[in-house]
Amino acid sequence: MGPVSGVVVYLLVWWMVFMCALPFKEDPQINRVPGTPGSAPENPYIKKKFLWSCLISALIWVVIYYLIDIKIIDFREMAAEMPLV
């Protein structure tokens, strides 16, 4: 995996992990601020979710990199086996 494809894979994994982490630990507003919906969280913990997403994504990226490096996942071989239409 080259550096550009490595960064692209990491960003895709990070985005999926971050979107999955957003609904966790959402506390509803106790004192509702005028102009905000009732479903808006009191504290969304975005910094914490951002950091956890970075760590989890890095671990997942290492596993993906390892699987590609030892050729368990080989996209070139998969492409060679596809029939040409």
pLDDT single digits (tens) 7-31: 999 999 999 999 999 888 877 777 7
pTM of the predicted protein model: 0.75
pLDDT value at residue 71 = 80
Q: What is the CA radius of gyration of the chain?
A: 19
> Residue 33 domain-assigned?
no
pLDDT of residue 10: 95
Domain range holding 19? 3-28+39-81
Q: Is residue 67 part of a domain?
A: yes
- The predicted pLDDT at position 37 comes to 79
What residues of the chain score a pLDDT lower than 70? none
Domain presence at residue 76:
yes
Split into its structural domains, the chain has a count of 1
pLDDT on residue 53:
96
Contacts of 45 by beta carbon, 8 Å cutoff, 6+ apart: 25
